[in-house]
Amino acid sequence: MGLLDSTTYFLKEAERVSGRPVVVQEDPTLQTLATVQIARGLAPMHVLRYRPIPNRTPDYHICYQCGFIIRLFENLPENRFSLAMSLDAPRRMDKWLLDGSASPQIRVRKDFLLNGILTQLRSIPIGLRVDDVIWEQFSDLREEQLASAKLQMAQNVQVLAPTIRKSFPKKLLRANTAMNAAYAQFWSRKTGDTTLVLPYQSVGADKDGEALLQAFSSIESNAFQDWSLVDKWADHLGLAGWYQWIQHDLEN
């Protein structure tokens, strides 16, 4: 199937601002809907992979991932940063895992949990910036965009199951649920569907989600402010000090 005009635009814009080609690959083994490995150092190109979904086109997912490339490279070279785990992050996760509510099966997955919460912290707030642009400026993608958001929300809600909630340390669960709540509230506002937030109201996470969205709205939407947005969310979630910003250098 040929690419939509919007998809062609995003691909060309990502290549223009970064000066590196974007390679798009179908990958049915992906656990997420789509991902992108942004070029740096010896990686001469951006590699964008998406999981095929029956009866769905990949165009929105391609545009969404290109959005991360565009936002990074819209900044001047000295203002391009990647999020990296801090040296102190493993110790901080150890403290969270001492919570008596964490099951033994969860405690042994420390590295997985640590990488997961930091990936969520980076991807959700900046991803909402990308989604905001797509929703407002590329209406031809809206149907697939909303379908993808609903699929993501359905996956997020699974974490609210009582058996799962009892297995995770409370602070980690709060951070994860707050970001998922903010995601649901973002789409509730876009669509007017208040039922999207009900699962988070039922566990008392809606206030945390609202606080994150207030931070999202209070910070300018230009790409230079993306790092400040993530920092603001981290402060609210107790994740400040878990990561560091490192300069994203195309040559190293």
Over the stretch 71-110, which tens digit does the pLDDT of each residue have? 999 999 999 999 999 999 999 999 999 887 778 888 889 9
Average pLDDT of 149-166? 92
Task: Please answer whether residues 12 and 46 qualify as being in contact, where contact means their C-beta atoms are separated by less than 8 angstroms.
Answer: no
- Which pLDDT tens digit goes with each residue over 12-43? 999 999 999 999 999 999 988 899 999 987 77
Which of residues 2 and 56 earns the better pLDDT score? 56
Q: What is the SS3 string spanning 58-122?
A: CHHHHHHHHHHHHHHHCCCHHHCEEEEECCCHHHHHHHHHCCCCCCHHHHCCHHHHHHHHHHHHH
Which one-letter DSSP state was computed for residue 242?
S
Give dist(CA 170, CA 119) in Å, integer.
19
Average pLDDT of 172-179? 96
Task: Please answer whether residues 71 and 226 qualify as being in contact, where contact means their C-beta atoms are separated by less than 8 angstroms.
Answer: yes
22-26 vs 46-50, strand pairing mode? parallel
Q: What is the mean pLDDT of the chain?
A: 93
Altogether, the residues listed in the chain come to a count of: 252
pLDDT band, very low/low/confident/very high, at 1 (cuts 50, 70, 90): very low
- Which pLDDT tens digit goes with each residue over 206-226? 999 999 999 999 999 999 999
Q: Is the pLDDT of residue 136 over 60?
A: yes
User: What's the pLDDT at 2?
Assistant: 42
User: What's the pLDDT at 148?
Assistant: 94
Which one-letter DSSP state was computed for residue 19?
S
* pTM of the full structure: 0.93
User: What's the pLDDT at 100?
Assistant: 76
Measure the CA angle with vertex 68, ends 13 and 205; round to 5°: 145
Min mean pLDDT across 92-101, 130-139, 192-201 is at 92-101
Q: Is the pLDDT of residue 251 over 80?
A: no
